[in-house]
Amino acid sequence: MPDYSRRIDCAIDDSATIVEKIKQQRSDDAALSSTLPPEAYNSDAFFSHEMEKIYRGDWVFAGHISQIPNVGDYFTLDIVNEPLVVTRGPDGVSVMSAVCLHRWAPIVTGSGNAKALVCPFHNWTYDLGGNLIGTPYMNQAAEFDRKQCKLPRIRHEIFHGLIFITFSDQVESIAQRLKPLNAMFDKYQVAELDTAYTLDYDCPFNWKMAVETFMECYHHSAVHRTTLEDSFPGRLSYIGEDGPGWTLCHQPLRKNGELSEVLTEGLIPLSGFSEQDMRQIDLMLVYPSCLIGLNPDRLSISQLLPIDKHMTVWHRLVLVSKDSSAQPGFADTAAAMKASSLSIIDEDLAINAAQQRGSLSRLAAPGRLGHLETTVWHLANYIRTRI
């Protein structure tokens, strides 16, 4: 398919004008709400503004503690052009810039276990806390004391096993902001879960389109007509409580539906869930773009990582109970789960790519929102407060 998204420049590419338009929209009544203006999805200038105010100014999900259970474990990810490494050292978890202090090569990529992190360019070597411990053939460099050198640390907090990072030293503690979710996260035993698999894929559209689509079930009857709609009809979904840091959409199982329609993967449900509890899946957005699917037998936690205004990496992590991951043959179960998630993902990718193309029209304008998509308005309200 031709890449229409890059052919035409946005009619308005002036960040201040777009910010003003967004601030003038209704933020007081869901029944009067509309989408953000289409320029907010197509402007390079506004994209840069968002990256500064939102992605560098707020908390971003990086991973789960079960990805680094042992000393020496590490994983990496890139957030707004910052290669980061998350390690478990003898003193606990560190989040650091992965950019070498020498000539900027990322010292490590992917994930694994290592005693030390060795830069692939000239073998400068760092311990798991980011201290520079090896610099071959640098003995003639004057006034260079490697013992004074350390990879920059990134502020992080671990909330129920979820590792969040921020580049801001001003933003309030995320644990404080998400405090009202403690009971829910305890119920889902989020800190105790195991990683079943991770999945990263490219989304050829603006990051906000991905968030909005994940957070509403209005599109089930069209986009997921033959996949999700039968068991989880969009019309039954409802948007419940939200807070300063999150919003929630509930997806009940169809009336007279069977539990087998929820427990589709052969996993052991989380302990303490009643049959009634298991008849619903919840969708949560932790602003700006951490998306959590809460199922009675698994959690999917995604972080959207924008590359540019029209390209986003979807970084997904799926967590299950330790009982499930200890079952014989679990590797096959995890592989099957991963494969089966792809059909739903493809349906969303296709419609969001089409939506992105439509949004480039100079005839496109903010569209009215219905009660099944109040979460789309919640995201817009969050953005209004941050820009």
Binding site for ligand FES (CB under 6 A): 100, 102-103, 105, 119, 121-122, 124
Strands 132-134 and 290-294 come out as unpaired
Biggest CA-to-CA distance, the chain: 77
Which residue number, 128 or 372, has a Cβ lying nearer to ligand FES?
128
Distances (CA, A) of 326 to 199, 266, 293, 334: 21, 13, 22, 12
Residue 301-340 contact track with Fe ion, rule CB under 5 A, x = bound: ----------------------------------------
Q: Which partner, ligand FES, Fe ion, none, binds residue 121 by CB below 5 to 8 Å per kind?
A: ligand FES
According to the 3-state scheme, what is the secondary structure of the chain? CCCHHHCCCCCCCCHHHHHHHHHCCCCCCHHHCECCCHHHHCCHHHHHHHHHHHHCCCCEEEEEHHHCCCCCEEEEEEECCEEEEEEEECCEEEEEECECCCCCCECCCCEEECCCEECCCCCCEECCCCEEEECCCCCCCCCCCHHHCECCECEEEEECCEEEEECCCCCCCHHHHCHHHHHHHHHCCHHHCEEEEEEEEEECCCHHHHHHHHCCCCCHHHHCCCCCCCCCCHHHCEEEEECCCEEEEEEECCCCCCHHHCCCCCCCCCCCCCCCHHHEEEEEEECCCEEEEECCCCEEEEEEEEEECCEEEEEEEEEECHHHHCCCCHHHHHHHHHHHHHHHHHHHHHHHHHHHHHHCCCCCCCCECCHHHHHHHHHHHHHHHHC
For residues 7 and 360, give the distance between their C-alpha atoms in angstroms, rounded to a whole number. Answer: 10
In sequence order, what are the residues at sequence separation of 6 or more whose Cβ sits closer than 8 angstroms to the Cβ of residue 347?
223, 224, 227
Output the smallest distance, CB 105 to ligand FES, in A.
4
Residue 229 engages Fe ion in binding (rule: CB under 5 A) = no
C-beta closer to ligand FES: residue 125 or 355: 125
Minimal distance, residue 136 CB to ligand FES, in Å: 9
Name which of 118 and 171 has its Cβ closer to ligand FES.
118
Of 7 and 147, the one with the shorter C-beta distance to ligand FES is 147
| Min dist. Cβ of residue 223 to Fe ion (A) | 6
What is the distance between the alpha carbons of residues 231 and 251, in angstroms, rounded to a whole number?
10
- Residue 135 CB, nearest approach to ligand FES (Å): 8
Binding site partner of 201, from Fe ion, ligand FES, none, Cβ cut-off 5-8 A by kind: none
Comparing CB distances to ligand FES, the nearer of 102 and 155 is: 102
Residue among 65 and 210 whose Cβ is closer to Fe ion? 210
- CB of 119: closest distance to ligand FES in angstroms? 3
Least separation in angstroms between CB 78 and ligand FES: 17
100 binds, among Fe ion, ligand FES, none (CB under 5 to 8 A by kind): ligand FES
Query: How far apart are CB 113 and ligand FES at their closest, in Å?
Result: 21
> Least Å distance between CB 133 and ligand FES?
13
Among 58, 212, 216, 348, binds Fe ion (CB under 5 A): 348
Question: Which of Fe ion, ligand FES, none interacts with 53 (beta carbon under 5 to 8 A by kind)?
Answer: none
Residue closer to Fe ion, measured from CB, 229 or 242: 229
Least distance from Fe ion to the Cβ atom of residue 24, Å: 30
Residue nearest to Fe ion (CB): 348
Name which of 104 and 201 has its Cβ closer to Fe ion.
201
The option from ligand FES, Fe ion, none interacting with 144 (CB < 5 to 8 A, set by class) reads none
Task: Tell me the C-alpha to C-alpha distance, in Å, between residue 79 and each of 55, 66, 147, 308, 363.
Answer: 8, 20, 28, 12, 33
- For residue 217, the minimal CB distance to Fe ion (Å) is 8
Looking only at residues 207 through 226 of this chain, which bind Fe ion when binding is defined by CB under 5 A? Answer: none
Count the site residues for Fe ion by CB under 5 A. Answer: 1
348 binds, among Fe ion, ligand FES, none (CB under 5 to 8 A by kind): Fe ion
What does 55 interact with, of Fe ion, ligand FES, none (CB < 5 to 8 A by kind)?
none
Residues interacting with Fe ion, by CB under 5 A?
348
